[in-house]
Chains A and B, each alone.
Chain A
Amino acid sequence: MIGPPIRRGRLAGIRRVFAPIGEARGLPRWVLWAGIAITVLFVLLAFLAPLVSPYDFDQYRLADGSRFTKQAPPSSDHLFGTNVMSTDVLSRVIYGSRTALSVVVIAVVFSMSIGVPLGLVSGYFGGKLDRILLLFMDALFAFPYLLLAIVIAFLLSETIGRGVMTAAIAISVVYVPQYFRVVRNHVISVREEPFVEAARAMGARPRTIIGRYVFFNVVQNVPVIATLNAADAILTLAALGFLGYGIQPTEAAEWGYDIQRAIADAGAGIWWTGLWPGVAIVLLVTGLTLVGEGLNDVLNPVLRRRRTEPVVFPEGPETPQESGLPEEPLNR
């Protein structure tokens, strides 16, 4: 690192962090764009749900009062069939993306806005505060995340009901320790850098140092963790829904809940009620994971590769990598 990294305000710093995305080449680029394509598809579905969905997520009869058949196999009226609640599976899958994405966005924002500042402060000041926070976060991290989320969702549902907020808070508790740890560890190494030392010598207040000098050197990792956490959070939300501690079925369509209702169908050979919500989860989680992995390859300076690097591996047959560059192990 040469000289103070930030000179032209905050926006320049953020632009600097994301600049390598355009420069990505080879497999990382492919992975990143495939992930982005899948994710964008679901974002579009979420926003346009009322337009593209054939029915409402809780609609079980037509406007003329005739009810949908229960557990009807796929047909032209119901492309993905209907489920045990007589609702249209396709509509619930589409509306489900809305639920999943809104919960996950809130959860990631929550856990980031708690984990990142705590990590900054804990890492920068060190001492007793750091030790206590570290102990607390480690305890949270070691605990089986799902049990934690269930208990918190249960307690919250007693007070504020089972909605998007309850699920989001329960999920964010699970991910706070991850942001905390990554940011804290990074701050500890950055804190000793000459430019921080210089700022301190010039009499800058801790606030300024953290905000201007430490933050932008540490924040690179956050987008990667955020997308990978988002992928994981989709699974946690579905797990909560599956166990009956997610979102109330009358409030929104949720994939995990739908699969729970579908488990009983498996014995009767009814596959369409569980298959489609499951496929939706797998696709969205894969998409977000690919974005995260791609970002990691692209943003992480240790793993980053550019086209100019003249490394060619002679051995080995055709590879999925276009550029023939070796890909670094993901050391996470």
Chain B
Amino acid sequence: MARQTTSLRKYALTRLALALPIVLLLLTMVFLLMRVAPGDPISAALGGRLPAEELERRREAAGYDRPLVVQYVEYLGDVATGDFGTTVSDNRPVMNLIAQNGAATLELTLTAMVLAVLVGVGVGLVSGRFRDTPLDFGGRLFGIVIYAAPIFFLGFLGQLIFGKYLGWLPTSGRASPVVSFELDTPTNLFVLDAIIAGDWSALGDILRHLILPATTLGLVIGGVFTRLVRVNVLQTLQGDYVEAARARGLPERNVVFRHAFKNALVPVVTVMGLQFALLLSGAVLTEQTFNWPGLGSELIRYLDNRDYIAVQGIITFVALVVVAISVLIDFVNAWVDPRVRY
């Protein structure tokens, strides 16, 4: 047992060390991309609104007249100390923005992920178990069609049906104006905040606002999961140990549930983690469709305002999260499957 723990720790350290060059590479890419843009951040955001001398003064104050290398090193240093800059257009620390709008994105993506796992595992297991039956055909068709439907189109249909015709659900924002005005938001996760405050009517309102966006995003991600789960179930059902379990005369139900499904789901867990890029991309579209004030819609807003600093800050943050998640997936992988950490 002791030997195993050391090797796991060793693996973790190696993996972390390997993540550093990737972080550096991503940060360099972000920096270069934002500097390729015509004009410096100050004149891009404020040009035409301020006199030329004032622009020049602000450029110097922000240090954009210095050599690129100096700015690059400073950028790396800032990121290392957790400083993502301050937006040019509304003078807001990016860290602040991440805490507030990032929480909205987190709330949306977490709920969507839970739904996606429920849908994906449910449909995938049924589809794989009853292979080549109409059930399976339906499951596969669901996977393909849901993949083919843009998130914003599903959102449009949802708003039309559940918002307009049935009138069941709100189609925009995280909460009604009254609720978002009155509710204390220490965590910025509205669901959690309402529970902390013990305000059940607010919680109901918040959940009602969450249903449509989270379901839309969750269905799309769930479509991808369906395929993964189905393929894995098919493979495990062909495994020798499943055959052996059948040969021992176990009821088919036990064979499927105890032996096949569990083993089928282990690899799926890590593959699900890999869908993070898809989840974030989907979140941008969902937020835009439902006026959800998350990081994605903020990114679009700052892009529209040509606020390079805000864009750079948000993208940098996303890049760091991407690396963190991939390291985390590898840890889980190594923990579950000892073969990974040779």
Contact = CB atoms under 8 A, between A and B. Distances in A.
B137 A139 contact: no
Interface in B120-146: 131-134, 137, 144-145
A46 interface: no
Interface residues of A, number: 58
Nearest to B26: A139
A267 B322 contact: no
Interface in B227-268: 227, 230-231, 234-235
Interface string A131-171: 00001101101111111001110110011000000000000
A144 B150 contact: no
Interface in B159-218: 159-160, 163-165, 171
Contact of A242 (B131, B150, B278): B150
Given A158-B37, A269-B165, A329-B235, A139 B171 contact: no
B163 A147 contact: no
Given A244-B304, A286-B144, A135 B164 contact: no
B156 A259 contact: yes
B311 interface: yes
A238 B150 contact: yes
Contacts of A136: 25
Instruction: Report which residue of B144, B165, B231 has the largest number of chain A beta carbons within 10 angstroms of its beta carbon.
Output: B144
Interface string B305-342: 00000010001001100110010000000000000000
The binding surface of chain B is classed by DSSP as: helix
A135 B25 contact: yes
Interface in B1-60: 21-22, 25-26, 29, 33, 36-38
A300 interface: no
Contacts of B160: 266, 269, 271, 274
Interface stretch (A47-55, A183-191, A315-323): A315-323
Given A243-B300, A281-B149, A147 B280 contact: yes
B277 A143 contact: yes
Contact of A282 (B149, B171, B299, B319): B149
A270 to B, nearest CB: 9
Interface size class, chain B: 35 or more
B64 interface: no
A262 interface: yes
A154 B164 contact: no
A242 B288 contact: yes
A278 B150 contact: yes
Given A143-B277, A151-B33, A327-B132, A158 B38 contact: yes
Contact of B150 (A239, A244, A268, A330): A239
A145 B282 CA distance: 10
Nearest to B148: A285
Contacts of B311: 151
A230 to B, nearest CB: 12
A145 B277 contact: yes
A231 B149 CA distance: 11
Interface of B: 21-22, 25-26, 29, 33, 36-38, 131-134, 137, 144-145, 147-153, 155-157, 159-160, 163-165, 171, 227, 230-231, 234-235, 276-278, 280-281, 284-285, 288-289, 299-300, 303-304, 311, 315, 318-319, 322-323, 326
Given A151-B311, A239-B152, 8 more contacts: A142-B326, A150-B303, A235-B148, A242-B150, A256-B150, A267-B171, A286-B144, A319-B132
Shortest 3 CB-CB distances between A and B: which pairs? A146-B281, A278-B153, A285-B148
12 contacts: A139-B29, A145-B281, A147-B318, A239-B151, A239-B152, A256-B152, A281-B148, A281-B153, A286-B145, A290-B144, A316-B132, A326-B132
